Each structure stands twice: as structure tokens, then as C-alpha cells.
Amino acid sequence: MASTLINVPPKAKRGDIIEIKTLTSHIMETGFRRTAAGELIPRDIITSFTCRYNGNEIFRADFFPAISANPYLSFFTIAKESGKFEFEWIGDNGFSTTASASIAVE
Amino acid sequence: MPKLNTTRRDFLGLAGGAAVAGAVPIVTLRPIEATPAMLTSAIRNVVGEAQVKAGKVKIDIPPLVENGNTVPMTVSVTSPMTETDYVKSIHVFNEKNPQPNIGNFYIGPWAGRAQVATRIRLADSQKVVAIARMSDDSFWSVSAEVIVTLAACTEEVN
């Protein structure tokens, strides 16, 4: 389980636009680098990220090797109701990790 | 790619000849660099035959970066983000990395603000292109030039 850092405001007013920030530890090996011996290092990246807000998908991203190691993302959503954000990262070699955060909307 | 192969063959032929002459040591060659043609085809894969207009999209990226391994980038799109007029997705491409894609980001009217930020790798000084797909399936784009002093992606590891 990779470690993740999530930043979601703990509470918001209904209708507010809130920023969600995520950080995941991952090498994001491009598959284009070589060792000093000249061997190609196989690709190992996160390929997809999804964020669900009370079960509805609100943000999805496809990653490519051009995304830096330990991928950082920031995106926005409208605070509609109290509930839970669920985050999921999927990658090469069966990589999968999840995280969640809750929000209180007044 | 055919052009790349020709270049490589030419180069190897040349290097081989030089080695026979005993003048030049053999150098490792890494023919991996996205060409503008790859950039164009990657964009075509996303937009299809649709016309891409300039405008509405903004890239915030430092014009000069020291380390191409982590370049902060923010892409924002001017849109009211209502139920009928919103941004569907944002696609980011590069010109000279080994691969032309950087990332695809899918949003919707619920986002409130059409803005995405991440950190990217740049293998060379080059152009970064962002394209937004609107709810009416029109495409808007912008590009930014970035100068990179330490390249990412293809360096050796020990």
C-alpha cells in the first residue's frame, strides 16, 4: 500500500467550489531510462486516477510517463452535500491503492 | 518513425565506418524523442477530425526550469461551468519527450472551476500543448514554451 496524502477541506458551505489535492508515493519509472550497464528499466507508472464523491465519479485522470514521480494533482468540485470522497490509483504491475476523506457541508 | 530509423541507420553506418578507421569510439545511441509528427498524431487521437481553435485555455508553467523531472503545471479553461456549457476534458501534450502524451483529465459541470494542476517531466526544452474539450465538443488549445536546463526521463541510473 503506497502512502498517500489527501487534502480536502473538512467543511464547506453548500455550493462552494472546493479544491482537492492529492499526493501519492510512486516511482513513476518511465520505461525510457537505462542502467549504467545499458539495460532498459521496465516501465512502472500509475496509469489512472479516479475520485468519487458519494459514489459519483467527479474526476478521472490518465497518467503517462511524463507525470513526475510521486504524482501530485489538484482539481476542483462543488460542495453539494456532506459525505465521502474516495480516491483510487491504478498502475502497472497490479498497483492499486485507495484513500478517502470526508466533508461536512452546511 | 521511418525517418528516425533512417537516421539511426545512417548514424550507425557512419559510426561503424569510423570505428573501422579506428578514429571514433562507439557511442550509445538513444533514438527516443517524440517528433512534432508524433505530437500531431497524439492530438488527432483525441480530437479526431474536429478543428482545434486557439484560446480559452491557459497553461501556467515556469518559462525556465532547472530540473525537468518535476515541473509544476496548472491548466485552466475559461468556462461558465454550467449544466449546459462546461469543460468535458483537458488533455496535455509535449513535443520532445519520448512519448507525446502527458495526461488526460476528465471533469464535468460539477467541478465548478475548470482547472487542473500537476507536476510533469520534460526531457528537453520544448513546447507544451493543452487542449480542452467543451460540452459542445469543440476543442480549444494553447501552447507554452519551456526551457529546461536539466532534462528528465532518459538519464542513466546507477
Residue B101's identity, in one-letter code, is N
Which residues in chain A have Cβ-Cβ distances shorter than 8 Å to B28? 38
Confidence category of residue B19, pLDDT binned at 50, 70, 90: very low
Task: Read off the pLDDT of each residue in A68-75 and give the average, rounded to a whole number.
Answer: 97
Residue A93 reports pLDDT greater than 60:
yes
> Cβ separation of A76 and B32 shorter than 8 Å?
no
Nearest to A69 by CA among A8, A33, A23, A104: A23
Predicted local confidence at residue B28, as pLDDT: 46
What's the grid cell of residue B21?
A: 578507421
Instruction: Tell me the C-alpha distance between B11 and B117, whole Å.
Output: 40
Confidence category of residue B29, pLDDT binned at 50, 70, 90: very low
> Cβ separation of B104 and A62 shorter than 8 Å?
yes
Q: Nearest chain B residue to A30 by CA: give it.
A: B153
Residue A71 reports pLDDT greater than 70:
yes
- Cβ-based neighbour number of residue B104 at 10 Å: 19
> Cβ separation of B69 and A38 shorter than 8 Å?
no
Q: Give the domain ranges of chain B.
A: 1-31, 32-150
User: What is the value of pTM for the model shown?
Assistant: 0.84
Residue B77 reports pLDDT greater than 90:
yes
B32-150 maps to which CATH number? Answer: 2.60.40.2470
Predicted local confidence at residue A38, as pLDDT: 87
Which residues in chain B have Cβ-Cβ distances shorter than 8 Å to A74? 74, 115-118
> Cβ separation of B101 and A64 shorter than 8 Å?
yes
> Cβ separation of A64 and B102 shorter than 8 Å?
yes
DSSP E strand stretches across chain B: 52-54, 57-60, 64-67, 71-77, 87-94, 101-106, 115-120, 126-134, 139-150, 156-157
Predicted local confidence at residue B154, as pLDDT: 59
Which residues in chain B (30-69) have CB-CB distances under 8 A to chain A? Answer: 30, 32, 69
Which residues in chain A (85-104) have CB-CB distances under 8 A to chain B? Answer: none
Predicted local confidence at residue B9, as pLDDT: 61
Q: What is the largest CA-CA distance in chain A?
A: 59
Domains of chain A: 4-105 (2.60.40.10)
Residue A2 reports pLDDT greater than 80:
no
Half-sphere exposure of residue B142: CA atoms within 13 angstroms, side-chain side: 15
Confidence category of residue B36, pLDDT binned at 50, 70, 90: confident
Nearest to B4 by CA among B38, B54, B40, B49: B38
Which of B94, B99, B117 comes nearest A74 by C-beta? B117
Question: For A14-68, what is each residue's pLDDT tens digit?
Answer: 999 999 999 999 999 999 988 888 899 999 999 999 999 999 999 999 999 999 9
What's the grid cell of residue B154?
A: 532518459
Predicted local confidence at residue B61, as pLDDT: 97
Q: Which is more confident, B33 or B97?
A: B97
Residue A74 reports pLDDT greater than 70:
yes
Which residues does A19 contact at the CB level (< 8 Å), separation at least 6?
Answer: A7, A9, A74, A75, A76
ipTM for the assembly: 0.94
